[in-house]
Chain A
Amino acid sequence: MTKKRVQTTAEVLEAAGLAPKDQLYTLRLYVAGLTPRSQEAIRTVTAICEGHLQGHYELEVIDLYQHPVLAKDEQIIATPTLIKKLPLPLRKIIGNMADLDKVLVGLDLRNR
């Protein structure tokens, strides 16, 4: 499951039926400069990924000041924003990730 390739709709549907732990997670963390708040978010997200999704996640950290166009493309209003692109549904987790429970809920790693 860790193979890096584009998923087809059928595969996405199939994956939806699987347990979260088995799915490939595609995550993007957008920050605005390396502020303490950004760093906090980066640390927390990395820790969660390593703790819960080891081996089947892709995390990319992007500084919007370097790539302002992405803010528009990804519909980002707040920083920091963590976008869970896969598995669906798409979800945006904003803030410095201080509320760990909420981050886990947002990533569908814990039930609401």
Chain B
Amino acid sequence: MAAKKKIIRLEKCPTGIRGLDDITRGGLPRGRPTLVCGGTGSGKTLLALEFIVRGILEFDEPGVFMSFEETPVELAQNVASLGFDLDGLIRGKKLAMDYVYVERSEIEETGEYNLEGLFIRLNSMIAATGAKRVGIDSLEALFAGLRDEGVLRSELRRLFRWLKDKDVTTVITGEQGQNELTRHGLEEYVSDCVIFLNHRVVNRVSTRLLRIVKYRGTSHGTNEYPTMIDEHGLSVLPISSLGFDYPVTSKRVPTGIDRLDAMLGGKGYFSGSSVLVSGTAGTGKSSLAAAFANSACSRGERCLYVAFEEAPAQITRNMASVGFDLEQWTKQGYLRFHAVRATFCGLEQHLGSIIKFVTEFRPSVVVIDPVNNLSAVGSSEEIKAMLTQVIDYCKNQGVTALFTSLTEGKNAMEQTDVGVSSLMDTWVLLRNVETASGERNRLLFVLKSRGMAHSNQVREFVLSDHGLQLTDVYVGDGTVLTGSARLIQEAQNKARAEEQRREATRRQRELGQEKSLVQAQIETLRHKAAVLAEDLAALARYDQSRLETATRDRAELASARQVD
């Protein structure tokens, strides 16, 4: 035996339950019992039953389910909504179920006994189906039905050994105890893997959590993982196990507002980044979010809009007033709303449903409007933790996430109520300014945007029928003017400019006239000069001919005198 040095790794048995196989790194220990414990309604029975049914459906491993609490008919009804056809599986000889009825008042204990009856029942079911998996829910009913705890405990020990010998992977459920994991200390017998399900109610909102208390011989996630029960059954969200190793791209996503793109290095947000839009009430956060959603949809990309405050119909109507026809995108399937009150469920469930939607719908853009509403169901730290997980998940999927956050008036502007700004790559701040002319105008500026040269300018954010526009604010004389004050100032500036233009034209005209006058004088003088030149030439010619004549006359005179 010692010669065999081959290390046999612990073989795992995948449960098929979403997320559970991730945090157990592959499933439950194969051929060994696993204890699932938790309080009433924590989902123990569902976990055990799903383990069996998914084993049959997904891994072709027949299973046996022994229930002490619910009859097969009840169980079949319970899981029919999940699409599990227990009767069909039983007919197909893939599943065997047994309801064990233990009623103390019917039982008289008269001496030594053992639980061979249970063993025989399990054995005949395992033999009939060729089962690889066994679910037992929950053995603790035996403690209520039988008085002799000593016998019971030794028989349970024998049962677990027997199940191991049968080489079946078993899930046993147990009710949560006061000071122990289970009421009757079942964890004492199951040493390989213990899973604890918790059902907590905080602020009147319930949250399901799953934790692996121990898993001998393997590494596993140790956190409490949010767990959900929905129409697909149980799912565990292994999000806290996500790391920082997501892909990073320098691709950009337009914001839906040209001038804002220009302010963000000319191209918009980074694809797969997290964007925070914060501001006080009525500053246009949702409109900015809608612009982003609208632009994504018009490019033929999908957008998930998580609305905590308004119904989809209301958002659609309101955004139509600023020129965004969101209805067409909903109809064409580019836009999906997930509208739910923040107080509807716990943070974990919100997180779970957001992640579920992202996984199913595969959007390129997610809008969550607004995040601070979540403070009704959790503390700042919890919300921050939850949003971290949303952001991490989105980044892993390359999804650009835009969050809006309402800043209450009493707080500083550069602060969000839920303290999430440090998680964000880009932070666009919206604020209202009240002007001397008695109006409130919206201002927008980019507070930060990691990894890009962004504008330091404050812009006025104008909502109109034609959409959203950013305009320059009037900055001069040490004041910032917006709204009608800006318009008045601009009109004045325009008038002044007009005046200056006219003045310049007049000056030009004057100079032009003066120039043409001078030109005319130049012309006259040039004419005079030409005349003088002509006179001069004529005079020269005359002098020359007179000189020639005189010379000839002198010669003629000499010739006449016969000079030699």
Contact A106 B110 (CB under 8 A): yes
Which of A71, A75, A80, A92 meets B120, CB within 8 Å?
Answer: A71
- Contact yes or no, A37 B112, CB < 8 A: yes
How far apart are the CA atoms of A98 and B148 in the complex, in Å?
15
**Contacts of A98 on B, CB cut-off 8 Å?**
110-112
Contacting B at CB under 8 A, from A73-102, are 75-81, 89-100, 102
**A and B contact pairs by CB, cutoff 8 A, 28 listed:** A32-B114, A32-B117, A32-B120, A37-B112, A68-B121, A68-B124, A71-B117, A71-B124, A76-B120, A77-B102, A77-B145, A78-B113, A78-B115, A78-B118, A79-B115, A79-B116, A80-B113, A91-B107, A92-B106, A92-B107, A93-B110, A94-B113, A95-B109, A96-B110, A96-B111, A97-B111, A98-B112, A105-B108
Chain B count of residues within 8 A CB distance of the other chain: 24
Contact yes or no, A95 B111, CB < 8 A: yes
In the complex, given contacts A32-B120, A37-B112, what are 20 additional A-B residue pairs having Cβ atoms less than 8 angstroms apart?
A65-B120, A71-B121, A75-B100, A76-B120, A77-B121, A77-B142, A78-B114, A79-B113, A79-B116, A81-B117, A90-B106, A91-B108, A92-B107, A92-B108, A93-B108, A93-B110, A94-B107, A97-B110, A98-B110, A99-B110
**Which residue of chain B has its CB nearest to the CB of A97?**
B110
Of listed B100, B108, B110, B124, residue having the most chain A CB within 10 A: B110
Decide if A10 is an interface residue (CB 8 Å cutoff): no
Expressed in whole angstroms, the Cα–Cα distance for A93 and B146 within the complex equals: 11
**A-to-B contact residues, CB < 8 Å:** 30, 32, 37, 64-65, 68-69, 71-72, 75-81, 89-100, 102-103, 105-106
Those 5 A-B pairs whose CB atoms lie nearest each other, nearest first: A98-B111, A106-B108, A95-B111, A76-B117, A68-B124
How far is B117's CA from A92's CA once the two chains are assembled, in angstroms? 13
Q: Is B101 an interface residue (CB 8 A)?
A: yes
Compute how far the CA of A64 lies from the CA of B123 in the bound complex, rounded to whole angstroms. Answer: 12
Q: Is the C-beta of B327 less than 8 angstroms from some C-beta in chain A?
A: no
- B111 pairs with A77, CB closer than 8 A: no
- Please indicate the chain B residues that have their CB under 8 angstroms from the CB of A90 in the complex: 106
Q: Is the CB of A78 within 8 A of B116?
A: yes
Rounded to whole angstroms, the CA-CA distance of A106 and B104 in the bound complex is 12
Q: Which residues of B contact A80 (CB under 8 A)?
A: 113
Residue interface bits B119-146, CB-to-A below 8 A is 1, else 0:
0110110000000000000000010011
Docked complex Cα distance between A69 and B113 (Å): 20
Which of B113, B117, B121 has the most CB atoms of chain A within a 10 A radius of its CB? Answer: B117
B residues near A78, Cβ cutoff 8 Å: 113-118, 146
